[in-house]
Amino acid sequence: MNSKNLLWLPLLALLAFSVHAENKPYKEFGDYKVFYSTFNSSFILPEIASTYNITRGKDKGLVNIAVIVGDKAGGATALIKGTVSNMLAQQQTLDFFEVREGDTVYYLAPFEFYNEDSMTFKIQIKPNPNKPSYSMSFQNKFYYDN
């Protein structure tokens, strides 16, 4: 197993065990399921972070987005944009980058947070360039990883 595949395994686990207000780690838009998760960047092993140029730190997080069409495994390409805001309405633009591992496609974006910070994510997903974007939002609270 190469180092790139090592990143996908923890992300799958996070997706499987994420608990959100709707009690499911995805939102549905017609035939599309948009899976999402957020986590501290310190959960990523240093060698994996280096491979993907991810900065690790106790105040740094990642948001993960994967777009699934129907029941097709692996994910689909999409244009993903978004922002994240903290409780003080300080906003960061999310700079998503695509990760491909075989047939698997997903998108990651780094962000910064303060300890015990509630973050609101607003994401726009455009899986079809000829159709309008889908919008979704969700919140998570973050803690420094000591």
pLDDT tens profile 76-104: 999 999 999 999 999 999 999 999 988 89
Three-state secondary-structure class, residue 7? helix
What string of DSSP letters covers 11-49?
HHHHHHH---TTSSSEEEETTEEEEEEEEEGGGS-HHHH
CA 139 to the chain's CA centroid: 12
Query: Above 60 in pLDDT, residue 113?
Result: yes
Q: What is the CATH number of domain 3-142?
A: 2.60.40.3340
Decide: pTM greater than 0.85.
no
Domain range summary for the chain, segments of one domain joined by + = 3-142
Mean pLDDT of 108-114: 96
pLDDT in tens, 27-68: 999 999 999 999 999 988 999 899 889 999 999 999 999 999
Residue among 134, 142, 115 at smallest CA distance from 38: 142
What was the pLDDT predicted at 101?
85
What was the pLDDT predicted at 13?
45
Query: Above 80 in pLDDT, residue 146?
Result: no
Q: What percent of the chain has pLDDT over 70?
A: 84
